[in-house]
């Protein structure tokens, strides 16, 4: 036999002794780092590529810093795109300690309670994170070497982790360790949502004119209607035709017209226009009207902003004229749901004596405030669009919501204006006032600042700034 027969090269007792000595060495001369495994949030169905990840678990383990003289790598590099920090660190961890105290817990993390995916393994994985406490920095594992030193006594005892400084790219980091979570809140691609309370007051304007339909008299309410009929007025000389709708009611199993609401009272009439009814499945309806001439009244009420959050039709107040009769209006809302808006405002009474356009005031919705407080790293969802995002920060005073991972796994590219944004954990609910789909925040993107400073030294408006003047 070529080897010494009196020494057992592959003896388990010798291997355990070697492993114990390595473990003791790491505990004496190493540093305690935090190992953070990567979970997948979304995967592309076509290319099977990971769209986003999250890091929400952590494990402590001792590690020896091989690069004891400082960070390796290219260091701080100044490029035309700004400052780029390319620090690296090499760490050695115990194979036995990882397999005994981290790998079993990782196997139980993916319990099927959420949609995240986690590749189960008994060794460190490329893509996982290491929090290095001495520099308070996050590093990403780029390569795991498991054969260095090479098979001492027929076995390997350590993992060599080659790590690079982690650059956030919309990953969710929520380890519950403040030193880790707080340093990434303002990094990566961030989208800004300006939110408002669930209610928003509607806005409308008025138009005045003379020779308008002042009052409509329903002479016969008809019968047999299955839907509101079309109401037609004869043309006005000013080509400002009156528009109105009929409101139906049912009494004793007979459906007839209860009243007529005016959307546009028209203008320029010299004589009262004729009124005709068509459609709706009924017959017998008839009406006449009177006109207001020689004085101005409110002929139209135009909804500029339907508002948000109206449970019932709000009251409408039209400013009174200096002398004359104050106009009145009636509002209607629709469709039903949380985001009910003011759809129309009808001229109930045009009034008299308006020499200037009056202001129109619409009552506030029942609910003007939002609900609750968004939590860091929780998922928010648009009530109508179905778009999801991850919360980075929430300012309850300014109602500014910063989110990331917008639309991951969604068929809709962004949020809708005026829709409710609902926190899936907190239940917080507010409505979107504006949405910045091109927002971003990257602390390493300093190109504009470098360009400004360079322009103070060299005149780059010259065709050849380095040539002879």
pLDDT band at 125 (very low <50, low <70, confident <90, very high): very high
Q: Are residues 402 and 299 in the same domain?
A: no
pLDDT in tens, 295-336: 999 999 999 988 877 878 899 999 999 899 999 999 998 765
Q: Are residues 52 and 165 in the same domain?
A: yes
Please indicate whether residue 219 or residue 406 has the higher confidence score (pLDDT): 219
Q: Are residues 336 and 396 in the same domain?
A: no
Domain end position, chosen among 362, 387, 414: 362
Q: Are residues 319 and 382 in the same domain?
A: no
* 341 touches 368 (CB < 8 A): no
Q: Are residues 41 and 179 in the same domain?
A: yes
Average pLDDT for 128-157: 92
Q: Are residues 115 and 160 in the same domain?
A: yes
Q: Are residues 213 and 290 in the same domain?
A: yes
E strands, 38-98, in order: 39-43, 50-55, 59-65, 72-79, 82-94
Asked if residue 407 is part of any domain, the answer here is yes
Domain end position, chosen among 183, 212, 233: 183
Residue 265: is its pLDDT beyond 90? yes
Helical spans, DSSP H, in 211-340 = none
Asked if residue 2 is part of any domain, the answer here is no
Q: Are residues 139 and 240 in the same domain?
A: no
pLDDT score recorded for residue 176: 81
**Closest by CA position to 207, among listed 261, 260, 262, 266:** 266
pLDDT band at 50 (very low <50, low <70, confident <90, very high): low
- Residues 439, 191: Cα–Cα separation, whole Å: 5
Residue 418, domain extent:
191-198+369-436
Least confident of 126-135, 226-235, 450-459: 450-459
**Closest by CA position to 224, among listed 254, 264, 201:** 254
Asked if residue 452 is part of any domain, the answer here is no
Least confident of 13-17, 160-164, 178-182, 384-388: 178-182
Q: Are residues 414 and 316 in the same domain?
A: no
Asked if residue 454 is part of any domain, the answer here is no
Q: Are residues 141 and 237 in the same domain?
A: no
Instruction: Name residue 64's beta-bridge partners.
Output: 92
pLDDT in tens, 184-234: 666 667 788 888 777 778 999 999 999 999 999 999 999 999 999 999 999
Q: Are residues 114 and 235 in the same domain?
A: no
The share of the chain scoring above pLDDT 90, in percent, equals 46
- Residues 161, 36: Cα–Cα separation, whole Å: 13
Please indicate whether residue 195 or residue 338 has the higher confidence score (pLDDT): 195
Asked if residue 421 is part of any domain, the answer here is yes
Asked if residue 7 is part of any domain, the answer here is no
- Residues 461, 469: Cα–Cα separation, whole Å: 13
Asked if residue 250 is part of any domain, the answer here is yes
The helices-and-strands tally (H runs, E runs) of the chain is 5, 28
Domain end position, chosen among 155, 183, 211: 183
Q: Are residues 20 and 92 in the same domain?
A: yes
Residue 264: is its pLDDT beyond 80? yes
pLDDT score recorded for residue 81: 59
Looking at the structure of the chain, the number of domains it has is: 3
Asked if residue 4 is part of any domain, the answer here is no
């Amino acid at each position: 036999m070529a080897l010494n027969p009196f020494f057992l090269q592959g003896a388990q007792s010798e291997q355990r002794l070697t492993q114990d000595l390595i473990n003791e060495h790491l505990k004496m001369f190493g540093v305690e780092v935090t190992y953070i495994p990567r979970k997948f949030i979304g995967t592309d169905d076509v290319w099977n590529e990971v769209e986003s990840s999250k890091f929400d678990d952590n494990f402590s383990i001792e590690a020896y810093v091989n690069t004891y003289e400082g960070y390796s790598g290219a260091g701080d590099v100044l490029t035309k795109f700004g400052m780029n920090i390319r620090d690296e660190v090499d760490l050695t961890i115990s194979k036995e300690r990882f397999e005994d105290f981290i790998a079993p817990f990782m196997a139980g993390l993916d319990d099927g309670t959420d949609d995240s995916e986690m590749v189960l393994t008994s060794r460190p994985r490329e893509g996982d994170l290491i929090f290095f406490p001495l520099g308070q920095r996050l590093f990403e594992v780029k390569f795991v070497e498991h054969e260095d030193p090479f098979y001492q006594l027929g076995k390997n005892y350590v993992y060599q982790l080659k790590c690079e400084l982690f650059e956030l790219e919309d990953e969710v980091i929520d380890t519950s360790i403040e030193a880790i979570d707080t340093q990434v809140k303002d990094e990566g691609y961030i989208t800004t949502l300006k939110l408002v309370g669930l209610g928003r007051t509607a806005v409308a304007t008025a138009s005045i004119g003379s020779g308008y339909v002042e009052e409509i008299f329903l002479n016969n309410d008809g019968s047999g209607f299955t839907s509101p009929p079309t109401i037609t007025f004869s043309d006005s000389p000013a080509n400002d035709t009156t528009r109105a709708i009929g409101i139906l009611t049912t009494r004793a199993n007979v459906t007839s017209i209860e009243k007529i609401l005016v959307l546009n009272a028209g203008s320029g009439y010299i004589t009262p226009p004729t009124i005709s009814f068509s459609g709706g499945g009924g017959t017998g309806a008839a009406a006449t009207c009177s006109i207001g001439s020689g004085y101005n009244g409110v002929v139209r009420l135009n909804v500029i902003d339907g508002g948000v959050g109206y449970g019932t039709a709000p009251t409408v107040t039209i400013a009174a004229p200096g002398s004359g009769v104050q106009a009145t209006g009636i509002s209607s809302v629709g469709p039903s749901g949380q985001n009910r808006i003011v759809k129309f405002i009808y001229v109930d009474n045009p009034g008299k004596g308006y020499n200037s356009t009056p202001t129109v005031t619409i009552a506030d919705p029942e609910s003007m405030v939002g609900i609750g407080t968004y939590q860091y790293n929780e998922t928010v969802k648009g009530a109508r669009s179905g778009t999801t995002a991850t919360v980075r920060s929430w300012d309850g005073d300014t109602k500014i919501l910063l989110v990331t991972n917008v639309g991951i796994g969604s068929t809709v590219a962004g949020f809708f204006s005026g829709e409710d944004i609902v926190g899936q954990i907190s239940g917080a609910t507010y409505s979107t006032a504006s949405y910045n789909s091109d927002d971003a925040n990257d602390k390493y993107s300093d190109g504009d600042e470098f360009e400004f400073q360079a322009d103070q030294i060299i005149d780059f408006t010259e065709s050849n700034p380095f040539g002879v003047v």
